[in-house]
Every structure is written in C-alpha cells, then in structure tokens.
Structure 1
Amino acid sequence: MHQSGPSPPQPSGAIRIAEQEVPSSVLQCLIIKFLMKEGVIPSEIFTRFQTQFGDESGMIIATVLRDSKGVLRLDFLVEQKTINAQYYSTLLNEKVKPPIRLKRRKRQDSLCFLQDNACPHTDTLTMASLLRLRWDVLPHRAYSPDLAPSDYRLFGPMKGFLRGKRLQNNSEVIAGVQRWI
C-alpha cells in the first residue's frame, strides 16, 4: 500500500527531476560532468550529444586574441566542430594579422606571440604560418596557470554575464558575447 505523506529527506542540492521541469542545459551540464568523471574524452562526449540531442546541443567556439591593450580579434566557430591547424593558420593570416596592423601600428617588426600547446597551435602548418608572419612565438610551459589569465579574467566573467540569459540561437549567443567584450 502506498502512503502519501512527507517525502523522505533529500540530500542537500538534490534535484527532483520527476516533479519539476529541469532545463535541458542543466541536464546536459550534469551529463557532461558525469561523463568527464568517467574519463570520456570531450570529442566523444560531443559526438554522443549530437547523436542524442541534435542541434539542441549546438556549440560555439570563441577564439579571443588580445594583447595588453585589449581585444584584437574575436572569432566564432559555428559551422566547423573543431579548430584544426588549417583553420587556425587561416585565422592568423587572414583575420588576426590585419587587425594587428591597423590597431598596433608601432613595433610590428617585433611581435611576440603567446599561445598554448594545443595541437592546432603546435602543428607544422601553424608553425610555418607563424614563421612567414615573422612573429616570435614565446614558449608556453605544459602547465602554467599564471600564463593563462583568460581562464579567470576573461571567460569566468563572460560566463557570469551570460548566466541566466535565455539565448535562442547561435546569433543571440554571438551578439551577447560581442556586447560583453
């Protein structure tokens, strides 16, 4: 016999999915955290999300190139699923070099470039592009949180700005990020 009455105590922070509608973004976040703890690599998680959710799980990759004076270029990757060496080299040659020349007219002959050690950044094609651009590439240690201030000075506040906003499509996300920048 089923008794109605007070429900058993729930652990702190528990979500009763059966009793309330939980936004899909919250569920997706929980699933991602779960799969990451199980050791599933991000590309596999993305593939599985695309299979289950289709366009609902769309993702935009933002590339922010900046110097000590501010943002030089903000680029959004919507159509392509990952940044590869060809995309990154084209970005540097066609979309980063011109704004640097326009915005930073002095001392262009001694540009020092710092990037992390992601595969597209260290690929032979990218390194050849950087050599042609005559940019000095600063070495980046494998683990150097002090050299990645964008993690806490850029993307943290950006997430805070976007938190709680209902953005319906990629265009609204891009416009929101551009307004914040």
Structure 2
Amino acid sequence: MKEKCVIEFLTAEQIVPIDIHRHLLKVYGDNAVDVTTVRRWVVRFNSGENEVHDKPRHRRPCSAATPHNEQRLIRTDQQITTKDFRPKKQTTFRLQHDNARPHTSLATTAHIAKFDWTVLLHPPYCPYLAPSNFHFFGPKKDGLRGQHFPDNDAVIAAVRKRLASAGADFYGRSIQALVHRWQKCITNGGDYVEK
C-alpha cells in the first residue's frame, strides 16, 4: 500500500513510470514492485482511479478433498462414485481468428489444443466476415478522434478507459453482429452481398 501511495503522488507530479520505478528502487531496493506493476498503477491513476487500499475480496468457502476423505465418503454413501469428485467442465470457448501466420504457429496451435478450444476458421480474403473485434474499432476511434497524447502510456490509458466504459452489452452486440453476418453469408450461398 505504501508503494501505491508513492506511485499515486509521483503520477500526480507528472513523473513517468520508469522514473517512478527508479525512485522505488532507491528506497525499497529489491522489495520494490516491478516496472510493469508501476505502469499498470500509473494507468489506473491517470484514468481516474484514486483508491490505494486493496478492495475486500469475496472468496468461496474453503474445501478440502483428499483421497482419504473421498474413500470414506464412498464407503459411507454407496450412491457416490468417483465421477462425483471430478471437476465439472463449465465453459466452452469457440475461438475465431484469421489464418495469418501468428495464428497458425505451432505455439499458438498447441496453446489452443491445451485448452480444448473449438476454432472457427476465418475464410481467406473475406474482410466482411472479419473476426468479432471488427465491431470495436469504429466506436473506439470515434471517441478518441481529435485528441493528442504526449506519450504511449497516455494513449494506452485513454483506450483502456474507453474500453472500460463500453459496458457488457457493447461486447455482446459485437458477437451477435458477427453471427448475423455469418448467417447472411450462408443464406446467400457463400456471398455476403445479395446479387
């Protein structure tokens, strides 16, 4: 918390994150937070957040599962099986991206396979069926148009502030708009535009 207060003060003094980190290293030595954390807090303070105390967190109740406890429960209640103790799959992800080089790399493919995500392939040369982020850029650019920023940190802070202010329905509409475009393409026999 002390470091957050120092970072908030030095941010108000218009000191850049790297210099703030140098000040922290002088005072706290190896116990100082890293420069990435300093940058993240500077962005938060520049976007209007002024809370330096950690917010209380709601946590789920503690639970303990050990082989001994599981065996005792299974012996006590014959209806319980080991399937009851397996973690349940709760969420599925469908990832849609284009077939650009970074997305087809071995590392990306392995990462997608590790999480067992379904990949919805992007048809080549179909900009009108762009990934779901196509909806973000117009409204985001409109809100930032005409502004001038002194450095990259200011740009990042402004964009993050715009993204945070969008609301959940903005992102939901984006995905639904993509589904509508796909459906239109299917209805028109592979053409996006009616002929």
When the two structures are superposed, what TM-score results if normalisation uses the length of structure 2?
Answer: 0.35
Which has a greater percent of helix?
2
Greater relative CO, 1 or 2 (CA 8 Å, sep 6+): 2
Structure (1 or 2) with the larger CA radius of gyration:
2
